[in-house]
Amino acid sequence: MGISRSKLCASVFPFLGIVLGMRAYPLGNIDLLVTFGDRSNFGTETLIFEVVEFEVSYHAILRRPCYAMFMAVPNCNYLKPKMQGSNGIITVSGSFEQAYAYGWEHRRRQLC
């Protein structure tokens, strides 16, 4: 994202279960303004992200505090969380193709 590491705040909590059988410590955390939706219907909140230096099949993990802040209802089966926006319901769509393709490529690199 082009954010300098000097902008990160200290973080001491390890990640468990993200990389199979390994404990990973974040480089730090950062507060970022996150907006879902478009100009006509949006929701914006500041979220705290833990920054790590390892490859996984996703760029961000949104947990319960994020869903609570946005009053979102996650639907992992369809990759379509829904939340209240400024002018109605916002539906965020994921891509099964991208998730599968990246996950498969990442797994192949781990096995080689």
Q: What is the mean pLDDT of the chain?
A: 80
The whole-number pLDDT of residue 102 equals 63
Q: What is the pLDDT of residue 112?
A: 45
pTM here is 0.67
pLDDT tens, residue by residue, 47-96: 988 888 876 666 677 778 888 888 888 776 777 888 999 999 999 887 77
The mean pLDDT value for 17-43 works out to 85
Q: Which residues pair with 16 in a beta bridge?
A: 23
Rounded Cα distance, 51 and 66, in Å: 16
Strands 23-24, 15-16: parallel, antiparallel or unpaired by DSSP?
antiparallel
Pairing state of beta strands 28-38 and 41-51?
antiparallel
Dihedral (C-alpha) 33, 49, 55, 35: value to the nearest 10 degrees? Answer: -20
**Residue 83 and residue 73 in contact, taking contact as beta carbons nearer than 8 Å:** yes
- pLDDT for 57 equals 63
Rounded Cα distance between 12 and 99, Å, is 29
